Structure 1
């Protein structure tokens, strides 16, 4: 019978990271560096919702000939983005907490 030797892979010891911008957490700012994307999503969703609200008010006061479906679409998509951003923030905080725990342990 042949004996097959086990080959071991060289230990990278963390030289390759799954998160390439890991060093940005401390370089850019202490706590807000990882929240820029959800904040942008929330702001854009708020602007879109406000646009839908203004279109709806203008259409209901007969000042605009914009379709009611355009106003409704802006409102619903904008609110969807706001909710998505608000849910994204706790997910990122938990991810950061787990990452810090795994690096510390």
Structure 2
């Protein structure tokens, strides 16, 4: 381990952060995970609805009905989770702003 000195290591202090300061970020940056979950959930729900429609119209040889049910139910679950998660993240961001201001 040549070249390894203790002086080259950064000092551990409470002021160092692993993530950049969110105050410089835009208002939507902290919400990106919730928005992604919401969009993916509604897309999956739409795929499940489309599979049900194709199965009912017998237009094409679509996957069996359990796949359509699973897509529809998982899509609704993810969509609702995203709808709940976004206000929670907004509240967390608001409280963090109050703590930093005080």
Is the pair's TM-score, using the shorter chain for normalization, greater than 0.5?
yes
Question: d(CA) in 2 for partners of 1:70 and 1:89?
Answer: 28
Helix, strand or coil for the counterpart of 1:58?
Answer: helix
Give me the CA root mean square deviation.
1.6
Please report the TM-score for the alignment, with normalisation by the length of structure 2: 0.78
Q: Distance in 1 between matches of 2:60 and 2:23?
A: 47
Aligned with 1:101: secondary structure? Answer: helix
Q: Structure 1 residue aligned with 2:89, among 83, 87, 92?
A: 92
* Moved segments of 4+, more than 3 Å: none
1:42 aligns with 2:35: no
Q: Deviations over 1:30-65 (max 9, x none)?
A: x11111111111111111111100000000112234
How many residues of Structure 1 are paired with residues of Structure 2 in the alignment?
Answer: 89
| Residue 8 (structure 2) aligns with | none
The runs of 5 or more residues in structure 1 that have no matched partner are 1-11
Question: What TM-score do you get using the length of structure 1 for normalisation?
Answer: 0.76
Unaligned runs of 5+ in 2: 1-12
- Specify which structure has the higher proportion of helix: 2
What does residue 16 of structure 1 align with? Answer: 16
Corresponding residue for 2:47?
A: 51
3-state SS of paired residue (1:99): helix
C-alpha displacement of 1:22: 4.5
Whole-Å separation in 1 of the counterparts to 2:78 and 2:23: 25
Higher CA-based Rg:
1
